[in-house]
Amino acid sequence: MLSKSKPEVAMHGISKRFGLVLANDQVNFTLRKGEIHALLGENGAGKTTLMRILYGLYQADEGEIEVQDQPVAISSPRDAIRHGIGMVSQHFALAAPLTVTENIILGTTSGLNLNMDHAERSVQAASTRYGIQIDPNAAIRDLSVGQRQRVEILKALYRNVTVLVLDEPTAVLTPQEVEHLFISLVGLKEQGFSVVFISHKLHEVMAITDHVTVLRQGRVVGELPTQDTSPNDLARMMVGRSTFGVTGKPEGSGPQTEGLVLDRVTALDNKGLPALKGVSLNVRAGEILGLAGVSGNGQTELAEVLAGTRPVTQGSLKVFEQDVTGLDAQSMMAAGVGRIPEDSRANIIGQMTVAQNMVIERLNQFSRRGYLDRRAIRGYAQDLIEEYQIKASPEDHIRTLSGGNLQKVVLARVLAQRPRVLMVAQPTRGLDVAATEYVHGKLLEQRSEGAAILLISEDLDEIMQLSDTIAVIYEGSIMAVMPASSATPEELGLLMAGVQQT
């Protein structure tokens, strides 16, 4: 029955090259009317590129696009919208100080005068029609991540599209919000909409989609109805080998000494509002404590407190019995805290070399009375590059490195100092499977060497896979701490949404 429906969109022989990288290589993709179609592949496989071509954000070097059997030229989002195609990016394209209505009507108004009352009413009407609840008057910056996503979806639907492309829509949601999204999507499907669901999460693909197209290294490696496949098959197609993502975690048997202790830590965010409201955590040596939570609930500020870049307003921090409250970044490192920041690209100096970035945190060791020891710097960088198998030379500008290699540089920089406490924030965001496995392996290695590791991640799978103990943060407070063995995704999801069980 599925295969009989008419193709809504067909992309033929799409190729796209960025510099030396072939992001899409002769890709064919067909989306039928009234289906949810998964575009599956690991990070860097070319899924987003393909859909950005469909949405007119990139131009294909080769290939054709047909919409309802008519060849079309899509050279801008405006063309895509005119052909009934809407897209919700992974990073929401919303202007934060503006209201929901203003964001939704952006680009749809004609004439100079803007009738805001009328606009609000029509947004409200669309909200009701598609069953997507949202306050048209609210400013985007006051909305949660899940609500912002709803604005994005409504924004596309408001433009009367029939095809909705969602790029990794579940990455930022709690399990319950994911469920809510899935219900909306099924509803849209029943109203005749076609949905492209970009993902690298197999269970979601199995749960909601009708059809799967698998991409690997820019090529289509499989295209089949979801019911005819299994998670194992898909995993094999996706990474090109059979085992996948099942790093065995040895039992933790480290000493029970307290490594990192946070006692009722309070801190403010950039706007001066409370971001951490009395956070208490206890990470033992040889243990990974996973901190789960939806983004924007204080994780960033907590990571910065531990990095020594954000002041603590109340409470105390201890590292192996040593009080480190209020120390700056240099003193934190001296106390044995290794810091792997949330966004590596934002926390390295892109215009400087690999070697310079490797030593920038400890220039005192690599200079004499202020004069740089350039030979020592190059040698040190060379050693780390070899040890961590980084594909780069010491003199390369670090921004030219791939995400995986970049993360290796950051890991090498930290681990070379043999930290006793590791603060790791979103360590595998955006990495491909091989790089993710490498990072996970290194973290487990540190754990077995007795480091106390605080793993902050929005990826619940990652938390469940690596942690000995799991804590959940919500609006700056710790909701619960429990052994990983007794935690379930449902329970964590509720806690992440701020629902305290009785």
Partner 1 sequence: MQDALTATFFVGLITATFRVATPLIYAAIGEVFTERAGILNLGIEGIMFLGAFVGFAAAYTADQAGMTGYLWIGLLSAILAGILMGLLMAFFSVTLGVNQHVSGLGITLLCTGLSLFGFRLVFGERAVLPSIDPFPQISLFEGMPVLGDIFSQYMLTYIAFLVLVPLSWWLLFRSSLGLNIRAVGENPEAVDAAGLNVYRIRYLVLALGGGLMAIGGAFLSLAQLGAFTPGIIAGRGWVCIALVIFARWQPVRAMLGALLFGGVFALQLRLQTMGFKLPFELFLALPYLVTIAALALASRHVSYPGAYLKPYRRE
Partner 2 sequence: MKIQVEKLPAPLWQRSLIPVVSVIITFLLTSGFVLAVGANPVEAAYYFLLDPLSNPVRLIEVLVKATPLLMTGAAVAFAFAGGYWNIGVEGQLYMGATAATAIGLQMHGYPAWIALPLMVVSGFLAGMAWAVLPAIMKVRLKIDEVVTTLLLNYVAIYIVSAILNGPWRDPISQWPQSPEIAASAIFPRLIPRSRLHLGFILALLIIALLWFVLSRTAFGLKMRAVGFNQDAAHFSGIHVNRVIMTVALISGGIGGLAGASEVAGIHFHLIDAISPGYGYTGIIIATLGSLNAFGVAAAALFIGLIDTGSQTVSRALGVPAYLGDVLQATLLLVTLAMLLLQRYRISLRRNSSPQTE
Of 87 and 398, nearer to partner 2 (C-beta) is 398
DSSP-derived letter for residue 430 is T
Name the binder of 341 from partner 1, partner 2, none, CB < 5-8 A by kind.
partner 2
Minimum distance of partner 2 from residue 467's CB (angstroms): 25
306: left (phi over 0), alpha (psi -120 to 50) or beta: alpha
Q: Is 166 in the site for partner 1 (CB under 8 A)?
A: no
CA 351 to mean position of chain CA atoms = 24
Shortest Cβ 372–partner 2 spacing (Å): 6
Asked whether the beta carbons of 392 and 354 are under 8 A apart, the reply is yes
**Of 208 and 333, CB closest to partner 2:** 333
Instruction: Pick the closer one to partner 1 by CB: 28 or 76.
Output: 76
Helical ranges in 191-323 per DSSP H: 202-208, 231-239, 299-307
What is 344-363 written as a DSSP string? HHHHS-TTSBHHHHHHGGGG
User: What amino acid occupies position 308?
Assistant: G
**213 vs 344 by CB, closer to partner 2:** 344
In the bound state with partner 1, the residue whose beta carbon lies nearer, of 16 and 32, is 16
Binding site for partner 2 (CB under 8 A): 18-20, 307-309, 328-330, 332-333, 339, 341, 346-352, 356, 360-361, 363-364, 366-367, 370-372, 374
CA 456/CA 473 separation, integer angstroms? 10
Binds 91, which of partner 2, partner 1, none (CB < 5 to 8 A, cut-off by type)? partner 1
Q: What is the 3-state secondary structure (H, E, C) of 129-198?
A: HCCCCCCCCCEHHHCCHHHHHHHHHHHHHHCCCCEEEEECCCCCCCHHHHHHHHHHHHHHHHCCCEEEEE
In the complex with partner 2, which residue's Cβ is closer, 356 or 469? 356
Residue 97 identity = P
Residues 54-113 that bind partner 1 (CB under 8 A): 55, 57-58, 76-81, 87, 89, 91, 93-98, 102-103, 105-113
> At CA 468, angle to CA 462 and CA 471, rounded to 5?
75
* Residue 110, contacted partner among partner 2, partner 1, none, CB below 5-8 A by kind: partner 1
**Could you identify the residue written with the tokens 């070899």?**
386
Q: How far is the CB of 250 from partner 1 (least distance, A)?
A: 43
Q: Which of 290, 250, 251 has its CA nearest to residue 457?
A: 290
Question: Binding residues for partner 1, how many (CB under 8 A)?
Answer: 34
Query: Minimum Å distance from CB 94 to partner 1?
Result: 6
Nearer to partner 2, 361 or 491 (CB): 361
Among partner 1, partner 2, none, what binds residue 16 when CB lies within 5 to 8 Å by partner kind?
none
Contact mark string toward partner 1, 109..138, x via CB under 8 A: xxxxxx-x----------------------
Rounded CA-CA distance 184/67 in Å is 24
The residues that touch partner 1, with contacts defined as CB under 8 A, are 18, 55, 57-58, 76-81, 87, 89, 91, 93-98, 102-103, 105-114, 116, 155, 159
